[in-house]
Amino acid sequence: MKILVTNDDGVAAPGLRALVEELKKLGKVVVVVPDREQSGVGTSVTLHHPLRVREVVPISDGIPTHIVEGTPSDSVIIALGMVLGEKVDLVVSGINEGSNLGNDVIISGTVAAAFQGYFHGISSMALSVASFHDLNFEVASGLALAFARQFKEGALPHKLLLNINLPNLPLKDIEGIEITRLGERSTTDAVRNGAISKGFDGKRDYYWIRHGAPEWVGGEGTDIWALKQNRISVTPLHSDLTDSEHCAVLQDMSSSLFDSLKTTG
């Protein structure tokens, strides 16, 4: 089994090492990652300047390690297109420092990297631990290995994307695994929580969007709810963002909208 491991926290992230140490027990692991932290860049792809890629000292014995001067999505695209000669069976992204829940999956570089694998028809996983301090990667890396085994044995459907979030707890304090749907977190958290600060750099004013205390919204069965219950959240994702519920009302309106273009034009 050939596994591409990537992340958005960059090559120096301890969560990356923890993941690689586990996954190499199962198959051939290759690491292709951004050369520095790229949290929050979402699905961004670099189109306006060339990308340098360098093979560096393996982060673990025998594990080819490449760094990309770009985003997590760039890393996966370069890995699949240029670095890896053979077919990749699984893409694993993480282990991220901090959760990627609810609306945050849209801005998450960790989840975006997994999406790139999925877009290329490869089963992919994103793993995140819900803390910025004293992180425990042991359970997350163990779970990554357990899921990778299921993929290897063909026990899971082809082309699956899993967004996995874990409470930052030792296994004995975790209540179980919950299969969840995405909850919500307002994208305007920083606006409502006053988490934008203004400063002066000596010449000009600047603004800084900070991590605020997010107002999590998530009923039973959501990823946010699962974490609050000290459970591991596993959310299968797909890329269809269509709001099917509102297609009918828009369809009803479409003829008159088109007619109005003719009269106002």
Q: Which residues form the interface with Mn ion (CB under 5 A)?
A: 8-9, 39, 96
Residue type, 224: I
Q: With respect to Mn ion, which residue has the nearer C-beta, 25 or 211?
A: 211
Q: What is the CA radius of gyration of the chain?
A: 20
Q: How far is the CB of 83 from Mn ion (least distance, A)?
A: 22
- Minimum CB separation of residue 248 from Mn ion in Å reads 39
Distances (CA, A) of 54 to 14, 88, 176: 20, 20, 40
Interatomic CA distance for residues 203 and 208, integer angstroms: 16
Work out how close the CB of 124 gets to Mn ion at its nearest, in angstroms, rounded to a whole number: 16
Cβ at position 190, least distance to Mn ion in Å: 17
Q: Which residue is nearest to Mn ion (CB)?
A: 39
CA distance linking residue 105 with residue 87, whole number of Å: 27
Distance of closest approach, residue 9 Cβ to Mn ion, in angstroms: 4
Of the two residues 96 and 136, which places its CB atom closer to Mn ion in the complex? Answer: 96
Nearer to Mn ion, 9 or 104 (CB): 9
CB 1 within 8 A of CB 26: yes
Q: Which is nearer to Mn ion, 128 or 180 (CB)?
A: 128
CB of 97 to Mn ion, least distance (A): 6
Shortest spacing between CB 165 and Mn ion, in angstroms:
13
| Contacts within 8 Å (CB) and 24+ apart, 156-161 | 156/123, 158/123, 159/118, 159/121, 159/122, 159/123, 160/123, 160/124, 160/236, 161/114, 161/115, 161/117, 161/118, 161/123, 161/124, 161/125, 161/126, 161/236, 161/237, 161/238
Residue number, 100 or 151, with CB nearest to Mn ion: 100
The rounded distance, in Å, linking the Cα atoms of 210 and 193 is 10
| Nearest residue (CB) to Mn ion, 75 versus 151 | 75
Cα distance between residue 188 and residue 118, in whole Å: 28
In three-state secondary structure terms, 111 is: helix
> Which residue number, 9 or 223, has a Cβ lying nearer to Mn ion?
9
SS3 128: strand
Q: Decide: 116 and 76 in contact? Cβ < 8 Å.
A: yes
For the four alpha carbons of 51, 70, 85 and 63, in that order, the dihedral sign comes to positive
